[in-house]
Structure 1
Amino acid sequence: MEKYQALVSFILKNIGGRENVLSVTHCMTRLRFTLKDDSLVQKEALVKSSEIMSAQFAGGRFQVVVGTNVAEIFQVVQEQLGGKNAAPDEEKKGLVSALVDTITKVITPVLGILTASGLLQGILALLTATHILSINDGAYIILHAMGQAVFYFLPVTLGYTSAKAFKMNPFVGMMLGATLLIPELMTGLTSGDVLYTLFNGTLFQTPVYNTFFGIPILFPASGYQYTVIPIIFIVYVGSKIESWLKRMIPSVIAHNVTSFLTILITVPLAILIVGPITNVLSSLISAGVSGLYTISPIITSLAVALLYQPLVIFGLHWPISAIGITNLAQSGVDYIFPMSFTANFAQTAVVLAVFLRTRSKDQKTLAIPAMVSGLFCIIEPAIYGFSLPVKKRFAFSMIGGAVGSLILALSATKMYAMSFGILGFAAFINPETGSMNGLITAIIASIATAAVAFILTYMTFKSKEDVVQSEEKELVKTEFLISPLEGQIKPIESAADPSFASKALGNGFIIVPEKGEVVSPVSGVIKTVFPSGHAIGITSDTGIDVLIHIGIDTVELEGKGFKPFVKKGQTVTQGEKILEVDLKKVINAGYSVETFVTVTNSNQFLDILCQQNGSVKIKDKVMTVIPFNNQIESKNLAEVH
C-alpha cells in the first residue's frame, strides 16, 4: 500500500483536504467523494497526474478515475481519512442531484422497450405513409397496440423500476402502478354529476365527481395512463410506508401482512394526495418547457443541443428525456427529442475524421466499433475514446449537434416516436398524414451536423494527439495468454454489453463458458477481486493488466454462485485456479454468463491478437500481446491457437 500513499495525499490535497470529505465509496475504476465544498476541488491539477485517468463531478459527487487498482487505493484513502464512513451521505446530497439520480435509476432500465416501441411506431408510420396499410387494417391495429402498450402501461413498468430504486418490493411497485390504470377509476371518478369544483377560476380548477369517505377525489380527466412523474413519487411514498411497516410488524407474520398493508395505505394516499400534486407538477414542467419553446424555439433548441452531450458524460441527460417521453405519451408528438437527435451523428463524424487522419493502429481499431455504435446512438465509446480526451473534438461535436438542432427547430420539425440513430429517421414521419417533410428535414440536419463536426476535426487534427503512455513495467517480448475457461469463444465486438463491445475496457475476447472452473490467463499478481466475486483483475509479471468479468449485471447476485480462490495481492501462476462459478445458479437467476477477458491497458502495446471463434479448453493459447519495442516477423503476428 506504500506506493499509493503519495497518490492519495495528492488527491486529498486537491479536493480540499481531508476535512472537506464527508464520505467516500468506490466502484471498479473510480473513487467517489461526497464533499462539503465542491468549489475547493482543483480538477485541472488532478487530471494532469499520470496516475489519474479522469476526474469529474457526477450525481452530486466528485469522481476520480484511477483504474482497476481502485480497491487498494481506496484502502489508503480510508487510512488517511481516519476511517471515515464509506457509506454515501445521502442527507448531504442536494435535491437536484437526488432527483437526477432517481430519474436515471428509474428510466434507464426501460430504455430498451421504449426504443422498441419507437421503432414499431416508426415502421407503422412508414407503412401507412406508403399506403401499404390503412388505419382500419387488422395488421395496423395490432402493430399500433404493440407500439402503444409500453406507454399506456408506463406506470406499471416504472412502478417496478422505481421500487428497485427505492429498495422496495418491486411487485408492490407494479401493483401501485396497475391500480392507477384500472378502467373503473376513470369511469367512476371522472364522469357523472359534478359534486362541486375546487380552485374554481384558477389554473388548477378541478371538478369533483366523487369522494373517499367525504374527502374529495381529484382524479385527472385523462387518468394516469402515459404518465411518468406521479408513479415515481407514489412508489417513493410507498417505500417509506413499507420500510416503517417492516420495523413495526413481527417477522412471523410480516411475509403475509406487509405487502397488504403497504398497498392498503399507499393507494388512497396516492389517489387523494400524491397523484394529484405530482400530476400538476408534471404538467407545469411540460407547460414551462413548452412555453419557452413557444417564445423562442431557437434558444430552447440551442440550449438543449449544447447541453445534451456534456450531460451524457455525467449521466444527467435523463431528466430532459423524461420530458420528451411524457410529451410522446400524452400527445403522441414531441419537440424535445429532435433537439438532441443529431448528437450521435456529430460524435460519429468526429471518430471518422480521427480514423482517416490518425497513424495509430490502436485508434483505427477502436474507431470502427465506435462508429458503428454511434450510428445506433450509443455514443459513449466515441465520447470517452475519441472526443473527450482531446477537448476541442468534443467542442466540435457540440457545435455540429447544435447546427442540426437549429435546422430542426427552424423548420418546427417534431418526432412522433422515441427512436434515435439511423433507425430513428422513421420517427419523423407523421403517422396521421403520412407526411415525409420531417424525415427529409431530419436527414438534411444530420448531414449538416456530421459535415460540420467532421470538417472541424479533420482540419485541426495533429499527430501529437496520438499518445501512448509508458508504464513502469515494460513488455519486451511477445506474450501469450491462455483461456481462463472452457467454452465457446467469440470476438469482443459482439458483446451484449456496449462498454466491452466498444473496447472501452480494452481489447480482448468473449467466452461463453461450458464449465465453471476459471484459471489465471497469466502469471502475475491479483490486483482486484470484486466483493461479489464476479470480476477479477490481474497484472502479469510483464505489465499486462487483465480483467476477467463473468456475466452481465452479475454484481447484483452479491456473490451467490461465485467462489474466489484468490485474494488481492496474491501471486498466481498461469493456469492456476482462481475462481469457481456455479453456471446453473447464475443462469437460473436470469443472468447471462457471457464472460469478458480484456487487456485493460491495450493502448500500451503494438497489437493484441485474439482467437475469434470456435471451442476452447482451459489453458489453450487464445491471445497474443505484442510490444512496441519488439520487431517480429509478420508471420508470427497471427500465432494464436
Structure 2
Amino acid sequence: MAKKDYTELAKDIVAHVGGKENIAGLKHCVTRLRFNLKDESKADDDYLKARDGIVTVVKAGGQYQVVIGNHVPDVYADVQKVAGISGDGSLDIDEGDAPKGNLLNQFISLVSSIFQPMLGALSAAGMLKGLAAILAACGLKTTDGAYVIINAAGDGVFQFLPVILAVTSAKRFKMEQFTALALAFALVYPNIATSFSGDSPLYTLFKGSIIESDIYATFFGFPIIFPDSTYLSTVLPIILTIFVGAKIEGFFKRVIPDVVKVFLVPFFTILITVPLAYMIIGPVMNWASDIIGAVFQGIYGFNPIIYGIVLGALWQVLVMFGLHWGLVPLFYLEIAQGSSTVLVATFAICFAQAGSLLNIMMRTKESKVRELSIPAFVSALFGVTEPAIYGITLPMRTPFIMTCIAGAIQGAYLGWADAKVYIAGGMGLFNIPSFIGETNYVVQFIIASLIAFILGFVLTQFVKIPKLYEK
C-alpha cells in the first residue's frame, strides 16, 4: 500500500502554529506532534482543533501538542519537509502527560513512558523466546545452531534490558544518551561479579542480620556489594542510576567551562555515578530483596495458603522493583535438594496477564492497543509478561490490579494443593514438565493456569478500558 500524502495537512499545521519561523523545535510521540514554539500566542488553536486530520490541541509540559493519531510519524515527516526542520524522527516520551497525582500514579507513568518506545522489540523478543521453546519441545536440541540463534535473538533483549532502558531513561531524565549507555555497560560488564567474590571475604557487613553482606573488594576503602544475580535483566537499578546520573551531569554542565565540557562532563558523570551504583543504589535494592525473602519465608512457615495469596498478588510488583531476587536463590537451593515450593505460586500468573489481554483486545477501540496486545498475548502464554505489563495493563492501571487479584487466587489454590516443582524448567506453557516428579502436580498447575486465565479475563470485564494513545 502506498504511503498517504499528508503534505496539505502539514502545510496547514505549520501555517497555523505561527509559521516555520515560530517553530523552535519539533518532536513526536506515539500520537502527537510536539512543538516548541517561540510564541504560542501566534498559534491558531481553534482552527487546528477544527481541522480534519487533527484530533485536538494540548498545551502541556511547555510544549504545543497537536494530536494526530497513530499515523503521526508520517505527518511528522511531512511537517519536517514543509518547515525545513531536520531531525532523526525518534519517539519523544510523553513526559508532559505524566499525572501530577500520588506517588504510585507518578511511578506507573514513569515506568510506562520509559518502556513505551521499546514495546515492539520487547514483544518480538518474547515471541522469539516462545518460538525457541516450541522448537525445543518438538525435539530440536538446545545445542543446535538454529535454536541457539533464535534463543539469542529473543533472550538477548531481556538479558541486556538495562542497556535499552538506559536509552529511554536518558530521554526521560534529559541525560546525554551515550553517557547513559556508558553507565549501563558498566552495570552489565561481563564477568565483573567474579571480581567481587571469592573464598575468603575481607569482612562482613551487618553480620547476623537479614542483610548480612560479605565484602570481597572495596573502592578506596568503601565496601562494594555486588549481587550474585548481577544486574542483567534488571529494571529499577538502571532507572535509578540514570536518574542520579542525570542530576550529576546537570551539575557539571553548569560549572564546567564550555571549552572542555564535551569530555569533562561525561568523565566526571561516569566517574561518580558508576561507583554510586555499585556501592549505594545496587546494594539498597539487594538488601530490600533479602528482607522480602525473609518476610515471605516467615509467611510460608505460618500458612502456605496465605503465602500463595500474598505472593501471587504481589509477584508482578516485586518483579517490577527487582525485589523478587530475595526468593530466587531459595528456589534454586530447594531444587538442588529435589523439589521446591518457593516460587510455585508465581508460575501461572502469566496466564492472568494473557486473560486480561484477551479481554482488552476484544473491547478496546484503539487499533494501536490491539496491535500491541496480539504479540504481548502470545508472549504471555510462554511466560514473558513484560510487554503486557509495561505496554498495556500497567499503564491502564485497573487491568493490572485485576491480574494481581487473579494471581492471588491461583496462588491460594497452589498453596492449598501444596504443589511442588522438581526442575527449574521453562516458563508459561512450558512449565508443565517442571511439575512431573515423585508426585505429579501437573493437574494442579493446569487448574491454576485456567483459574488465572479465566479470572484475568472475567475481572477485566468489570473495569473500564481506558485509552492510552487517542486521548
The bucket for the TM-score relative to the shorter chain is 0.5 to 0.7
**Deviation at residue 151 of structure 1 after TM alignment:** 3.8
Deviations 1:248-297 (A, max 9, x none): 12334322322222111211222232222222224434554565567556
* Residues 1:231 and 2:238 aligned together: yes
1:197 aligns with 2:204: yes
Indicate which of 86, 109, 119 corresponds to 1:101.
109
Aligned: 1:171 with 2:213: no
Taking a change above 3 Å as real, the CA distance of residues 324 and 440 of structure 1, as seen in their structure-2 partners, is: farther
Q: Distance in 2 between matches of 1:197 and 1:443?
A: 44
Structure 1 unmatched ranges of 5 or more = 1-26, 30-66, 73-85, 309-316, 356-361, 462-501, 506-552, 554-597, 601-641
- Aligned residue type for 2:349: M
1:162 aligns with 2:169: yes
Q: Does 1:241 align with 2:248?
A: yes
Within-5 A mapping of 1:396-411: 407=413, 410=416
**Equivalent residue of 1:342, what SS?**
helix
Aligned equivalent of 2:18: none
Question: Aligned to 1:232, what secondary structure does the other structure show?
Answer: helix
Q: In the alignment, what sits opposite 2:288?
A: 281
- In the alignment, structure 1 residue 338 sits paired with structure 2 residue 348: yes
Structure 2: runs of 5 or more not aligned:
1-29, 33-53, 60-94, 333-342, 381-387
Q: CA deviation at 1:180?
A: 2.1
Of residues 405, 425, 430, the one that matches 2:429 is 425
- Give the Cα separation in 1 of the matches to 2:375 and 2:148: 33
Q: Which residue of 2 aligns with 1:473?
A: none
Match of 2:16 in 1: none
2:214 aligns to what SS in structure 1?
strand
Q: In 1, distance between residues paired with 2:258 and 2:424?
A: 50
Q: 2:263 — aligned with what?
A: 256
What whole-Å deviation, never above 9, does each CA across 1:312-371 have from its counterpart, x for those lacking one?
xxxxx766655598689987977446235235436747998xx9xxxxxx99x9xx9999
Q: Residues 79-118 of structure 1: matches in 2 within 5 Å? A: 94-118=102-126
Distance 1:439 1:328, change over 3 A: farther
The one-letter amino acid of 1:276's match is P
Deviations 1:151-210 (A, max 9, x none): 432332333333233221232222112112323633332236532222222222222222
* Alpha-carbon RMSD: 5.8
Closer, same or farther: CA 294–374 of 1 in aligned 2, 3 Å: farther
* Deviation string, structure 1 residues 374-421 (Cα, Å, up to 9, x no partner): 9657799999xxxx9xxxx999999888766655565548897997xx
- Change in 2 beyond 3 A, CA 1:219/1:339: closer
The Cα of 1:215 is off from its aligned counterpart by 2.5
Match of 1:213 among 216, 220, 234: 220
User: Aligned partner of 1:341: which letter?
Assistant: F
Show the 5 A alignment for 1:559-570.
none
Shift of 1:226: 3.7
- Structure 2 distance, partners of 1:399, 1:275, is 30
Give the strand-richer structure, 1 or 2. 1
Q: 1:134 to 1:279 in 2, by over 3 A?
A: same
8 Å Cα contact 1:154-1:225 kept in structure 2: yes
**Larger RCO (CA within 8 A; separation ≥ 6):** 2
- Which amino acid in 1 is paired with 2:429? F
Alignment of 1:104-503 (within 5 A): 104-130=112-138, 132-183=139-190, 185-191=192-198, 193-285=200-292, 288=295, 292=299, 298-299=305-306, 321-322=320-321, 335-336=345-346, 338-339=348-349, 341-345=351-355, 348=358, 376=378, 407=413, 410=416, 412=419, 425-426=429-430, 428=432, 430=434, 444-445=447-448, 447=450
Report which of the two has the higher share of helix.
2
TM-score (norm 1): 0.42
Query: In the alignment, residue 274 of structure 2 is paired with which amino acid?
Result: V
Amino acid at match of 2:238: I
TM-score using structure 2 length: 0.55
SS in 1 for 2:348: helix
Aligned residues: 358
Q: Distance in 2 between matches of 1:263 and 1:395?
A: 38
Query: Which SS does the other structure have where 1:160 is aligned?
Result: helix
Partner amino acid for 1:105?
A: S
- In the other structure, the counterpart of 1:22 is none
Contact 2:249 2:269 in 1 (8 A): yes
The one-letter code sitting in structure 2 at the alignment partner of 1:100 is I
Report the equivalent of 1:469: none
Cα distance in 2 for residues equivalent to 1:396 and 1:187: 41
**Separation (CA, whole Å) in 2 of partners of 1:136 and 1:230:** 33
One-letter identity of the residue aligned with 1:425: L
The answer to whether the Cα contact below 8 Å between 2:348 and 2:452 also exists between their aligned partners in 1 is no
Structure 2 counterpart SS, 1:194: coil
Name the CA shift for 1:176/1:418 in 2 (closer, same or farther; >3 Å): farther
Aligned mates of 2:239, 2:402 — CA distance in 1: 37
For 1:457 and 1:198, the matched residues in 2 are separated by 46
SS in 2 for 1:197: strand
